[in-house]
Amino acid sequence: MAQTTLNNDTKTTSQPIAHELAKKQKEVSVAEFFERNRHLLGFDNKRKALLTVVKEAVDNSLDACEEARIMPEIIVEIVEMGNDRFRVIIEDNGPGIVKKQIPNIFAKLLYGSKFHTMKQARGQQGIGISAAVLYSQLTTGRPTKIKSKISPKDPAHIYELRIDTSTNSPEIIKEEETIWNNKDHGVRIEMDVEATYQKGDQGVDAYVKQTAIVNPHATFIYTNPKAEQMIYPRASEHLPKEPMAIKPHPYGVELGILLKMVKQTEKRTLQAFLTEEFSRVGPGTAKEICENSSLDPRMKPEQLEHPHVEKLMEGIKKTKIIAPSTDCIVPIGEELLEKGLRKEVPAEFYCSVTRPPEVYRGIPFVIEVAVAYGGTQPGDQPARILRFANRVPLLYQMSACASNKAIIQTDWRRYGMSQSNGALPVGPMTLVVHLASVWPPFTSEAKEAIAHYPEIIKEMKLALQEAGRQLGSYVNKKRRVADQQQRINIFENYIPEVAAALADITGEKKEIITAAMRKMLEKNKEFIMRNQAQVQEVDSEGPSLGKSYEDDDEDVKEDGKE
Amino acid sequence: MAQTTLNNDTKTTSQPIAHELAKKQKEVSVAEFFERNRHLLGFDNKRKALLTVVKEAVDNSLDACEEARIMPEIIVEIVEMGNDRFRVIIEDNGPGIVKKQIPNIFAKLLYGSKFHTMKQARGQQGIGISAAVLYSQLTTGRPTKIKSKISPKDPAHIYELRIDTSTNSPEIIKEEETIWNNKDHGVRIEMDVEATYQKGDQGVDAYVKQTAIVNPHATFIYTNPKAEQMIYPRASEHLPKEPMAIKPHPYGVELGILLKMVKQTEKRTLQAFLTEEFSRVGPGTAKEICENSSLDPRMKPEQLEHPHVEKLMEGIKKTKIIAPSTDCIVPIGEELLEKGLRKEVPAEFYCSVTRPPEVYRGIPFVIEVAVAYGGTQPGDQPARILRFANRVPLLYQMSACASNKAIIQTDWRRYGMSQSNGALPVGPMTLVVHLASVWPPFTSEAKEAIAHYPEIIKEMKLALQEAGRQLGSYVNKKRRVADQQQRINIFENYIPEVAAALADITGEKKEIITAAMRKMLEKNKEFIMRNQAQVQEVDSEGPSLGKSYEDDDEDVKEDGKE
């Protein structure tokens, strides 16, 4: 049918095909779009779906608690209901959500508080939790139940919500006031989802455990579908420093955004616009930008036409402006990161690195890396990788992640590991990579992997090299001590023979020679014992026995090339 | 500041923090969302940006031409403007776009004709071309210029458009009627973008070339920024069969969708609803579904409550329903695929496989695979992989793609390649993998990699194994012939000596023995010559010289495990 009505090549007097095609052209609601593309949101299989639902809810709880400066206490409960269905319950002690915002927060995609604020948070786009609601209704048809209380004096509110996907708006199934005893404030979510539960590296158990590692200020009480309860009490009584919202940095602003800002500003002069709507632009810098752009600082922003804004962009590029403030980012810190890793991975050597802040597209970020080496970790397997972004564990899409690329491109053979070309290092090792940023660029809405921005990969590599050198130094020392031990053993075995021979030649008493040789040996043994205890602290050469050792490459130069 | 006003733990009489937080909660426009997340749309770096812009426009042109049954003729021109800016021009001979739809099609994200139609197309979500417009204005501030003409009798229309990102709606900069000489119908787009141009496997040149391979019915005239013009004339005078739109298959419908369909249908009975709104449900099947669900087929759909729909889902699962029609998919076909590959890759052996249609989440798809082996391809490198989805080359995110997983999980050592664990096969080989589907599931909006649906990976592996066996058979024959040649050479060298020895023993004349031996050798040589010419056609053993050969594993059983 389509064949005949659409055929234009006949050039008859019938209507052009374009009219026929136009009938089908219409708007797609963002909820319909994600309903069909649910794998973009982390719902591509039943196992991952369970993780994603928990993750989105826990992310929000942690963000809300921290924003309200409350020590988080989060209850996660998953109940198996048979037939591949699970009830997921997440309860927090956060600030709660005001009644009128509940429907939009939970049942409207692209609605939230974090998109328009430039500071580090787990959530960013206002999609996550409503995506979970969408998945729940898609697979079980059930509405999501939300209870919220904002203060001891306010009543609690209960909502049952669905998303009307054709309009991307909340559908309120039930709405009532209630009393929530023993709770000053907080939110409780209950949703039914189709899912499967499995233990292992990519499951909810691993997620909660890893989340506890990088959020030592939070308490988690987790009950899995096997009714096993795991409690992770907080290990730190201090909330992380509060990240401060920042304004955009001039270097990160693109022409199109600048054009929009110039139109929307309420500032009266270009000078005021520059100093007040950007970070790191004081009056002096603003003046310099104007000079470099050949624009009058007293000009009204609304008078700036396209060519002026192009000149302004050029002027910004020519002006030296200090890097953005990093108050907006709060890394975990070397000490806490290493502490967390020690709790999780029993090993013999640990180290961690927090790099200074850097910038991609004008957006500040910090890379942190930690290594746990040895112990019972298998030596013939690729290193285990733990990835985090803004303190959230990333459990999927490893191969698409910037961190994977950075690890593969680092030469681990220098640090005593084996590694084939283009592959992960092999050795008894766990590697942690954390990206903290105002806006971590993810490869999809599911926030599973970090996009390949060259600035980010470069920083990751520098951090890995820094940790790698510490690791290499340890591994070399360990090898050297082992070599020395072996030499001593050989030497010890030959003492009687050598002593006899020396006695013959020198005429000295055999017993005296033997004693001298044993003394020499003891000295070396002491050195080795010291080294074995604290292998990584040995810095100077001890008394040497026999020939000199091979040069070790502890002080490998940093590979500046990218 | 936030620290003090937000602190709730003091439990003073001040307002609950939730009110403070609520002030920041608001809607995010989908255009703002993608403006910030432009890497999701394929705009994460300048090189890829150029490719993405061209790809989105060419995808649309090809789709429009095919839908209107017009043999596509597409002009692509990229002009370097200095300072990392390029003007990209795409012109087609498609059906054109009616005037009133032009602004929405080009300057509103999530607007299009393909999302709501279930048939194979390159575009799907109504994001691509407006994303290109968004990127253009973001990086150069310039509007996009569109010219469209829908028939020889209609005037052409010119628009200059921008997207108002805060509302995701078109902003019309200019709008005028014009005359477009020598053009019956078509669309021409001009946009300026910040980009870099590079040749190589991931550049526009490679994209156009690969597109020409899998679209032999289209002509491409491409001028790159170096002003080199490449013309790819069509190799086939036949449009691909037109894909037919299908209705959803009952097996692929989820509970949430079924609930929605039941509410929205205009059908009067459950029986009519089932037969008319689904594919592959006739009156008999509908009756069976109703029986299996314990529901009355005469029930009105609007009377179906949640528990009824749950029962209906169960009933559908219990009923045997034939697989969805595959009219909606048009694979390239083994012949055309191999032909295309022959044009692109000079090699000594080719084969291709088109698998029967399969289904994921109720959505039909077909996997096609082709192999080109030998020739001048490097033997010590990983195989070159060419990936396509609905005839569109996929040039990025290889490692995140289902095809990568399928290739890695195939045991290529069986087919004579070398391969280390978890890696691509190494050998002088190019592999083509094509997914044709009503709805290819991509890992991101940029449509660069296919998501890891197990059904898709399984089909890919079966196709690769099928092609692999043909390849293995060829490689083995080739090796056998080489071995035989070597044996003959050795034999030939020893003829004089052996003949002399035999003459001594038997008393026969040395010349006669030599002649007999040479004759025997000639027979074998002939056999080898024949084999060398048509190595893959040899099926029976020829005359054998010396010991029997090692068994070859040509008839490896298909690895059914997934």
Mean pLDDT is lowest, of A128-137, A440-449, B335-344, B383-392, for: B335-344
Residues 6+ apart with CB under 8 A from B446: B39, B40, B41, B42, B43, B52, B396, B397
Whether B111 and chain A come into contact, CB under 8 Å, resolves to yes
* Site from B15, B37, B305, B394 to mutate, A interface, most A CB atoms within 10 angstroms: B37
Residue A426's pLDDT band, with cuts at 50, 70 and 90, is: very high
CA distance B152 to A311: 44
At residue A50, the pLDDT reads 97
Which residues from chain B sit within 8 angstroms of residue A110, using beta carbons? Answer: 27-30, 33
What confidence score (pLDDT) does residue A541 get? Answer: 36
pLDDT digits (tens, 9 = 90+) for A364-401: 999 999 999 999 999 999 999 999 999 999 999 898 89
C-beta separation of A49 from B131 below 8 A:
no
Round to whole Å and give the CA distance between A278 and B75.
43
**B119: which chain A residues are within 8 Å (Cβ-Cβ)?**
none
Q: What pLDDT does A36 receive?
A: 87
Backbone φ and ψ of A214, nearest 5°: -95, 0
Mutation target among B48, B98, B237 for the A interface, most CBs of A within 10 A: B98
pLDDT band per the 50, 70, 90 thresholds, residue B207:
very high
In one-letter notation, the amino acid at residue B16 is P
According to the per-residue pLDDT averaged within each range, which of A338-347, A531-540, B19-28, B78-87 is highest? B78-87
Query: So what's the pLDDT on residue A528?
Result: 67
Residue A532: which pLDDT band, with cuts at 50, 70 and 90?
low
Q: With bands split at pLDDT 50, 70 and 90, how would you rate the model's confidence at A534?
A: low
Q: What is the mean pLDDT of residues B55-82?
A: 96
Burial of A325 (0-12, 13-18, 19+ CB in 10 A): middle
Cβ–Cβ < 8 Å for B93, B70? yes
Decide if A36 and B115 are in contact by the 8 Å CB cutoff.
yes
A115 contacts B256? CB cut-off 8 A: no
- B523, pLDDT greater than 70: yes
The model's confidence at residue A535, banded by pLDDT at 50, 70 and 90, is low
Cβ-proximal residues to B134 (8 Å cutoff; 6+ apart), any chain? B31, B34, B35, B38, B41, B109, B163, B165
ipTM exceeds 0.85: no
Structure tokens at A190: 């209950």
Interface check B486 vs A, CB under 8 A = no
Q: Tell me, what's the pLDDT at A9?
A: 45
**Mean pLDDT computed over every residue of chain A:** 87
Residues of A in contact with B260 (CB under 8 A): 165
User: What is the per-residue pLDDT for B533?
Assistant: 59
Judged against a pLDDT cut of 60, whether residue A548 lies above it is answered with: no
A160-164, A185-189, A326-330, B217-221: least confidently modelled range: A326-330
For residue A44, the chain B residue with the least C-alpha distance is B453
Using CA atoms in the order A489, A494, A495, A501, what is the torsion angle rounded to 10 degrees? -160
pLDDT over 50 (residue A263): yes
B535 in contact with chain A, both atoms CB, cutoff 8 A: no
- Cα Rg, chain A, nearest whole Å: 31
pTM of the predicted structure, to 2 decimals: 0.83
pLDDT band per the 50, 70, 90 thresholds, residue B553: very low
Tokens of B60: 């649309």
The answer, for B116 touching chain A at a CB cutoff of 8 Å, is yes
**Is the pLDDT confidence value at B503 over 90?**
no
Helix or strand run (H / E) with residue B459: helix B454-506
Give the pLDDT of residue B48.
Answer: 94
pLDDT score recorded for residue A323:
84
**CA–CA separation, A104 and A159 (whole Å):** 11
Alpha-carbon distance A232 to nearest alpha carbon in chain B (angstroms): 22
Report the DSSP pairing between strands B186-194 and B144-149: antiparallel
In this prediction, what percent of chain A has a pLDDT beyond 90? 63
pLDDT tens per residue across span B11-48 = 444 688 889 888 888 888 999 999 888 889 999 889 99
Is residue B440 a contact partner of residue B448, using CB atoms and an 8 Å limit?
no
Higher-pLDDT residue of B331 and A10 is: B331
Q: Where are the beta strands (DSSP E) in B63-215?
A: 73-82, 85-91, 111-112, 144-149, 156-164, 169-178, 186-194
Of A100, A151, A306, the CB nearest to B141: A306
Whether the pLDDT of residue B505 is over 60: the answer is yes
Which positions in chain B touch A237 (Cβ < 8 Å)?
Answer: none
3-state SS, B325-362, equals CCCCCCCCCHHHHHHHHHHHCCCCEEEEEECCCEEECC
pLDDT of residue A525: 73
- pLDDT tens for each residue of A194-250: 999 998 889 999 999 999 989 989 999 999 999 999 999 998 889 999 898 888 899
DSSP for A180-194 reads -TT-SSEEEEEEEEE
Q: Is the pLDDT of residue A464 over 90?
A: yes
Q: Which pLDDT does position B161 carry in this prediction?
A: 97
A222-236, A417-431, B21-35, B496-510: least confidently modelled range: B496-510
Query: Is A382 in contact with A481 (CB distance < 8 Å)?
Result: no
